[in-house]
Amino acid sequence: MPESANDARFEFLKALAGAMAPLGQTSGELQEQLYACAAGLGIRAEFSVLPTFVQITMDAGNGSTQAALIPVSGDRIDLAALASLQEITVDVGKGRISPDEGTRLIRLMVGHPARTPVVLSLLAGALTSFAVTIILGGGAQELWAAVPTGLAVGLFYRIAVRKQRFRGLLELSSAAFATAFALGLGYLLKEFDPTVVIVAAIVQFLPGLRITQGVSELAAGDLVAGTARLAGALMTLLNLGIGVGLIWTIFLQSGIMPDLSQAHGSATYMLGAAAVTAGIAFSVTEHASRRDVGWVFLGVVVAIAGSRLGTWALGATLGVGIASLLVGLAGNAYSRFFHRAKVTMTVPGLTILVPGALGFEGIFALVKSGGSGGVQLLMTTVLLAAALVVGLTISESLIPSRSLPERLSAGAQDTAH
């Protein structure tokens, strides 16, 4: 293979790894896709994937190697970008475009990411709060409080993220603002459950997906990646818990805590409204393409129906494994039959199961009690994440997702050379 072809393919692998790493996949999933890409390009390469960097070592022939260490910053969910990256990879693998052209397209995508209009983003945040309130058992009073609180928190975050001095305190300050706003509403809207309202308002910050991914990596034997991801999730929960606990204590110690009560739940038909609003909201917050909005909605519906079935069959904690099994089967079937990324359905489905909510409540209980409470909730969170992972693992055994890209074709060989 000419050295120029080697370099072009290596540059494509580097660009692909750097673009895909922050987009919400486990280290194992990303590693599998990179190995499939290298095999499709007809080269031998080794990959080491961690939440903070990706290392690539390629056999350049004649006993020499090429290596690269690619730092990974940030962690976001972008379903449209992930789908586009996989399409570019398949196009390169099938010879439709050259590796150089694929690298150019990836760098163009990374350099000019799609931006969601502020108004649409704020509306999606309010809809997410609406849906999560119903999922968590909130009633009409909680809905009246959660929607404006979620909208206010989204606006606060938009303002704070532009201030450099707030960058390290975004999670803590947003949680503190949400708590102050929710408790302040307690003087206008009497007797609602503030915990449900606060969780629904800050759900966009909860690391539920990262907790699930971390447990999945540990279960797969990837101890370094799993430990690092769980440690990051724990720090996020601590920041949120401290922010909420600080304002809660100020209200309590100052004697200005409003009258509060426990949530009494919503009517069953409200789950349909939750599914619709969550499907719309996640399509915006997780940056799904227009063609995938229906699939995002279907993933949410499968998750909600599966959680109800699982709760009836096995209880609230273990029953979530049935929900993740059904979500995994749906996502894998979508990937296998439509040749697209399974995360289009699995990520929204896992998000609505909100495993981070229990973790947050555990941290909040620890903060309020001075370290003596909340341990049981944290252990329940780990058990919940483990049940999710078991369900996803079983679904992969029943319907394996499609590996992308396929083997390099003769046309790609000609294009590369």
Residue 168, token pair as written in the block: 């390290």
Buried b (16+ CB within 10 A) or exposed e, 222-242: beebbebbbebbbebbbbbbb
Buried b (16+ CB within 10 A) or exposed e, 267-284: eeebbeebbbbbbbbbbb
DSSP string computed for 88-136:
HHHHHHTTSS-HHHHHHHHHHHHHS-----HHHHHHHHHHHHHHHHHHT
pLDDT (0 to 100) of residue 375:
63
* Cα–Cα distance list, 95 to 103, 336, 415, 417 (Å): 14, 21, 6, 11
pLDDT (0 to 100) of residue 147:
93
- Number of neighbours of residue 318 by Cβ within 10 angstroms: 17
> Quick one: which of 172, 216, 225 has its CA closest to 347?
216
State yes or no: pLDDT of 323 exceeds 60: yes
- pTM, entire model: 0.82
Identity of residue 19: A
Highest mean pLDDT among 48-62, 295-309, 368-382: 295-309
Q: Give the model confidence (pLDDT) of 71-104 as tens digits.
A: 887 777 888 888 888 888 888 877 788 889 999 9
CA dihedral 235, 237, 239, 244 (to 10 degrees): -170
- Number of neighbours of residue 379 by Cβ within 10 angstroms: 12
The helix (run of H) or strand (run of E) holding residue 61 is strand 53-61
Instruction: Give the separation between CA 390 and CA 339, rounded to whole angstroms.
Output: 24
Q: How confident is the model at residue 106 (pLDDT cuts 50, 70, 90)?
A: very high
Dihedral of CA 163/166/170/172: which sign? Answer: negative
Q: Which residue has the higher pLDDT, 362 or 204?
A: 204
> Quick one: which of 417, 342, 341, 410 has its CA closest to 40?
410
What's the gap between Cα 249 and its chain centre?
31
Give percent above pLDDT 90 in the chain: 13
Identity of residue 13: L
Instruction: Give the separation between CA 79 and CA 272, rounded to whole angstroms.
Output: 24
Please state the domain extents for the chain: 3-114, 118-398
Q: Give the model confidence (pLDDT) of 155-203 as tens digits.
A: 998 888 887 766 678 889 999 999 999 999 988 887 788 888 898 898 8
The 3 state secondary structure assigned to 313-362 is HHCCCCCHHHHHHHHHHHHHHHHHHHCCCCHHHHHHHHHHCCHHHHHHHH
pLDDT, the chain, mean: 81
Instruction: Give the separation between CA 330 and CA 322, rounded to whole angstroms.
Output: 12
pLDDT (0 to 100) of residue 416:
40
Per DSSP, the chain holds a count of helices (H) and strands (E) of 17, 3
